Amino acid sequence: MFKQSLQQKQLQRLSPQQIQLMKLLQVPTVELEARIKQELEANPALEEGAEEEERDELEPEEQDQNDALDEFDFDEYLDDETPDYKTSVSNHGPDVEDKDIPLGAGSTFRELLIGQLSLHQLTETQKMLGEHIIGQLDDAGYLRRDLDSIVNDLAFTQNITVQRAELEDVLLTIQTLDPAGVGANSLRECLLLQIRRKQDILQDKANFSRLQNLVYAEEILDDHFEAFSKKHYSSITSKLNISEDDLKEALSEIKKLNPKPGDSGGESSRTVAHVVSDFLLTVNDDELQVVLNQRNAPDLRISPSYKEMMHTYASGAKTSKSQKEALTFVKQKIDAAKWFVDAIRQRQLTLMKTINTIVNHQEEYFLSGDETDLKPMILKDIAEKINMDISTVSRVANSKYVQTPYGTFLLKTFFSESLTTDSGEEVSSREVKSILKDAIEDEDKSKPLTDEKLGIILNSKGYHIARRTVAKYREQMGLSVARLRKEL
């Protein structure tokens, strides 16, 4: 049964301008240039340059240009049916050399392998299978798929019937290509391929001492890989009946190997990301100064010619449909330009308000550069001080970098939870992590400190932290457990 009723609801909806501001707030400086350029190209009413207050201050040439707009005929402009080709021009004759320099790019990892494969004496079928296998390699250079699965793929998708033995023969050829280790299906096989390649080279040079180290390294990887991965060194020396010095030399050879051979072949096609700081912080005579990086944010203004066009046309009679459409078009472009300029200005104000509050809160750290001077700080602390929503502060902190005398950091790294010491003082978890890192760096690598022992060290310094919290902080810093940090 349906019935009608009147209800009042209070809803909060973001305007298009607010949405635009939120998006611009998330954009880092390195992307802001492209965003502004995109808006400049899309909106002819927006242009670079400082705002001009008075018409009299315009240059004579600009003044004449704006005066000429009074005589601009919108009907002639909008109703022009002249074909585009009659208004375009080509100043290049047939004999003029095109001197544009094309962009060049290096060969990709897979292209390099296919190029090497073509140098081998293979049948057309083997070449096809080799290119198919190379296409199956991941970015690290590994063949993660089983050969039986590849056989089935070729049969069902390309109607090509091959035997597993044929694929194995081609794969063995691929595993002889450079860089050594490509085509392996596991880390163990990848390292073994590289060790055996080195053995083949050294046998010709009669370097017996190093060759012996490589033989030990091969035995460790081939027969004792699990013990090696868990760093059970005493078990390896016992089973191989070798000295600790021999084990050191063998491990030294293994450490020289590349666990991701595909990376070395893909350097030419990899995009390198560079961090561009959004804020620049300097310390002068114990005074902190922070400015917004304006490198990619030029001054923006509403085009004076569009303003004049709007004024001239709005004051005249609008008798035709085309004239009304022209006025609407100009008005929309000017409004959009105003919104964008205001959004950029509001973005700058919000960024500066946020960074200044963060710097004031962490003044001791920015003056000294010592992580132990960092104070506990969460998003709510900054949001309350600048009277803004936590989500706004989060947008700024998660995507903006500040350049300091001690390095360039993401703003969110200055936020941390608080801990209470024996004296009742609240300290930042970053301070605890710094002490934890120092303790691990200074430990005896032959007997690394366990999480329990690290907790005892922290407790002796007045930081009451459970072992599981120590493990959490250690993992956050990317540090391995004690047995994996063990060295000979």
pLDDT tens digit string along 145-172? 899 899 898 888 888 888 999 999 999 9
Residue 469, CB half-sphere, CA atoms under 13 Å: how many? 15
Cβ atoms < 10 Å from Cβ of 3? 4
Residue 34, CB half-sphere, CA atoms under 13 Å: how many? 4
Q: What is the residue type of 485? A: R
Asked if 191 and 259 sit in the same domain, the reply is yes
pLDDT for residue 114 is more than 70: yes
Least confident window among 34-48, 200-214, 262-276: 262-276
Confidence (pLDDT) at 319: 59
Measured CA to CA in angstroms, residue 6 lies from 3, 9, 135 at distances of: 10, 10, 63
Contacts of 301 (CB under 8 A, 6+ apart): 46, 47, 48, 49, 50, 51, 52, 341
The better pLDDT of the pair 17, 387 is held by 387
Domain assignment present for 75 = no
Asked if 434 and 356 sit in the same domain, the reply is no
Last residue of a domain, one of 155, 177, 199: 177
Going by pLDDT thresholds of 50, 70 and 90, the confidence category of residue 412 is confident
Least confident window among 52-61, 298-307, 386-395: 52-61
Contacts of 374 (CB under 8 A, 6+ apart): 362, 365, 414, 416, 428, 430, 431
The tokens of 181 are what? 């280790």
Total domain count, the chain? 4
Q: Where are the alpha helices (DSSP H) in 27-123?
A: 29-42, 60-68, 74-78, 109-117
Asked if 289 and 399 sit in the same domain, the reply is yes
Q: What is the residue type of 224? A: H
Average pLDDT, the chain: 78
Asked if 285 and 365 sit in the same domain, the reply is yes
Confidence (pLDDT) at 101: 45
DSSP 8-state assignment for residue 66: H
Asked if 131 and 168 sit in the same domain, the reply is yes
Range(s) of the domain holding residue 427: 418-485
The per-residue pLDDT for range 290-349, each reduced to its tens digit, is 888 876 567 788 888 877 777 776 666 555 677 777 778 878 888 888 888 888 888 888
Confidence (pLDDT) at 58: 44
H/E stretch holding 194 reads helix 187-205
Asked if 261 and 361 sit in the same domain, the reply is no
Task: Identify the CATH number of the domain in which residue 468 sits.
Answer: 1.10.10.60
Last residue of a domain, one of 391, 414, 437: 414
pLDDT for residue 74 is more than 70: no
Going by pLDDT thresholds of 50, 70 and 90, the confidence category of residue 399 is confident
Number of helical H runs and strand E runs in the chain: 22, 8
Residue 316, CB half-sphere, CA atoms under 13 Å: how many? 19
- Residues 414-442 have a mean pLDDT of 76
In degrees, rounded to 5, the angle at the alpha carbon of residue 159 between the alpha carbons of residues 158 and 162 is 100
Asked if 429 and 448 sit in the same domain, the reply is yes
pLDDT for residue 79 is more than 70: no
Asked if 346 and 390 sit in the same domain, the reply is yes
Confidence (pLDDT) at 40: 85
Please name the residue that has the structure tokens 């509001």.
346
Asked if 422 and 395 sit in the same domain, the reply is no
pLDDT for residue 56 is more than 50: no
Contacts of 218 (CB under 8 A, 6+ apart): 192, 195, 196, 199
Asked if 441 and 380 sit in the same domain, the reply is no
Tell which residue, 282, 281, 278, has the closest CA to residue 294: 278
Q: At what angle do helices 187-205 and 208-223 cross, to 10 degrees?
A: 160
Supply the DSSP string of 250-296, one letter for each residue.
Answer: HHHHHHTS-S-HHHHHSGGGPPPP----SEEEEEETTEEEEEE--TT
pLDDT for residue 42 is more than 90: no
The SS3 assignment for 137 reads: coil
Least confident window among 284-293, 319-328, 353-362, 437-446: 319-328
Asked if 216 and 167 sit in the same domain, the reply is no
